[in-house]
Amino acid sequence: MNNKKRSRFAIISLGILTMLTSFSAYSEQPLVIAHRGASGYLPEHTIAAKAMAYAMGADYIEQDVVMTKDDHLVVLHDHYLDEVTDVQSKFAERKRSDGRYYVIDFTLAEIRTLDVSERYFVKAGEKKPVFPERFPLNQARFKVHTLAEEIELIQGLNKSTGKDVGVYTEVKSPSFHLQQGKDLSLEVLKVLQTYGYTGKQDKAYFQSFEIEDLKRVAEKLLPSLKMDMKLIQLMGDESYYDEITTKSGIKNLAQYVDGIGPSIGMIVDNHSTAEQLEFSDLVQNAHEHGLLVHPYTFRKERMAMPAYATSYEDLLDIFINQVKVDGVFTDFTDLTVEFIHSNNTTQ
């Protein structure tokens, strides 16, 4: 992080922080958003991982969505297939010059022939799991599914359990898709509409990292479809987001989105120590403008947790009880639900 970014952070005592952020956008318990499903336990974005997250008590289940060659919407984190499937062994010759296998180059029927695994990287020609303690790499069979299939699972479980778990859908690389002649955001909205998500009161969020495309969703696509939707502007530490994370940028965002989804490092400086946490003013600014704050990603593995957090529960305590965020994207729905219940966390 450069000095300009570091200057966003200030050492704020807990007392002052509590005063600054003592309200959240909604006075409810923080939402537990199952990040790619119960991905701490089963391969991300598989139907099994979604069913497990549902059973663990998630409030919302996340879908990242990309489009196939024949215009089907599939639930995958990347517009590439090569980090979670066996595409290399089944379609070796179909990689592009950059060595990647693009979802958009494959039909849904072709993609359905692939097996999905835990996320991996290749080292010395061998697949290595990104998270070695999670589900084994070459065990059991998992498949890619469509957005509609996942919504049908969630809505089916809502019927059979009597619960009302929501969908939290992200369009991945919409500008890339537009360049390829495919309007990903429009097609995702149409599917959400088909399944009854048509207003802000419905249990659905629409999220995107792309600023211009999300604005297009708010100002053009939703009105053209005569629907509305809770919108979340995702953001990271890249300079692309510098303007929208200023005070005036947040004020402007609040004109057309319902909340923001920052990385946790944008809220608590990763250089913090357990004894001295450094907070940015992002949550305070967002809450002052009525925006929800749903940071990502809460993981329990030491390698994926900031050094200042002494445990997963400590990380949750910092963000839920001290910063008072409105929801968290987590790979560990069970631990997060348990933490919230045992703390009886209300905001």
Distance of alpha carbon 266 from the chain centroid = 15
Total number of residues that touch ligand G3P (CB under 6 A)? 11
Please report whether residue 234 would count as binding ligand G3P according to CB under 6 A.
yes
What values do phi and psi take at 65, rounded to 5?
-130, 135
Nearest Cα to Cα of residue 84 among 140, 130, 16: 130
What track of x and - describes contact with ligand G3P for positions 188 through 217 (by CB under 6 A)? Answer: -------------------x----------
Q: How far is the CB of 233 from Ca ion (least distance, A)?
A: 13
Please report whether residue 63 would count as binding ligand G3P according to CB under 6 A.
no
243: tokens are 């303007």
Judged by CB, which is closer to ligand G3P: 39, or 85?
Answer: 39
Please report whether residue 170 would count as binding Ca ion according to CB under 5 A.
yes
Please report whether residue 329 would count as binding ligand G3P according to CB under 6 A.
yes
- Written in H, E and C, the secondary structure of 188-213 is HHHHHHHCCCCCCCCCEEEEECCHHH
324 binds, among ligand G3P, Ca ion, none (CB under 5 to 8 A by kind): none
Does the annotation mark 79 as catalytic?
Answer: no
| Structural element, H or E, at residue 333 | helix 333-343
Does the annotation mark 35 as catalytic?
Answer: yes
Nearest Cα to Cα of residue 121 among 83, 88, 92, 90: 83
Please report whether residue 37 would count as binding ligand G3P according to CB under 6 A.
no
CB closest to ligand G3P, residue no: 296
Nearest Cα to Cα of residue 251 among 289, 281, 213: 289
Judged by CB, which is closer to ligand G3P: 20, or 172?
Answer: 172
Residue 267 near residue 283, CB atoms below 8 Å: yes
Q: 45, 72, 77, 294: which one is catalytic?
A: 77
285: tokens are 């600014």
298: tokens are 């809460």
| DSSP secondary structure letter of residue 109 | H
Judged by CB, which is closer to ligand G3P: 39, or 68?
Answer: 39
Please report whether residue 261 would count as binding ligand G3P according to CB under 6 A.
yes
List the one residue from 44, 59, 64, 118 that touches Ca ion (CB under 5 A).
64
Position 268: which residue type?
V
Please report whether residue 105 would count as binding Ca ion according to CB under 5 A.
no
Residue 247 near residue 273, CB atoms below 8 Å: no
38: tokens are 């119960």
List the one residue from 59, 64, 150, 183 that touches ligand G3P (CB under 6 A).
64
Q: How far is the CB of 207 from Ca ion (least distance, A)?
A: 7
End-to-end Cα, the chain, rounded Å = 31
Residues that bind ligand G3P (CB under 6 A): 35, 62, 64, 77, 170, 207, 234, 261, 296-297, 329
Residues that bind Ca ion (CB under 5 A): 64, 170
Active site residues: 35, 77
